[in-house]
Amino acid sequence: MREAEDWCVKRLDDNGNEFVLRAGLSREEAERLARDYQARGHKQTYWACRQATGGAGGR
């Protein structure tokens, strides 16, 4: 059975703004992509997390 593809990679920029970079990923794909972005040495912070399923706040 294939793992759920409800993970995403997010970025936090220097101004505190949070963005979804990629969505619809498996946990393994999201974690690997977040590590790749972090390894590039940008000032921003990258992480993998489950996508919000809707509703208020969604974080």
H or E stretch at 56: none
pLDDT at 2: 53
| Residue 7 to residue 54: CA distance in whole angstroms | 14
pLDDT tens digits, 6-59: 999 999 998 999 999 999 999 999 999 999 999 998 778 999 999 987 645 444
Region of 26 on the Ramachandran plot (φ > 0 left; ψ -120 to 50 alpha; else beta): beta
3-state secondary structure of 34: helix
Coil/strand/helix, residue 36 = helix
In three-state secondary structure terms, 42 is coil
Q: What pLDDT does 1 receive?
A: 35
- The whole-model pTM stands at 0.78
* Domain spans in the chain, listed from the N-terminal domain onward: 7-50
Tens digit of each residue's pLDDT (9 = 90 or more) over 26-39: 999 999 999 999 99
Output the pLDDT for position 4: 83
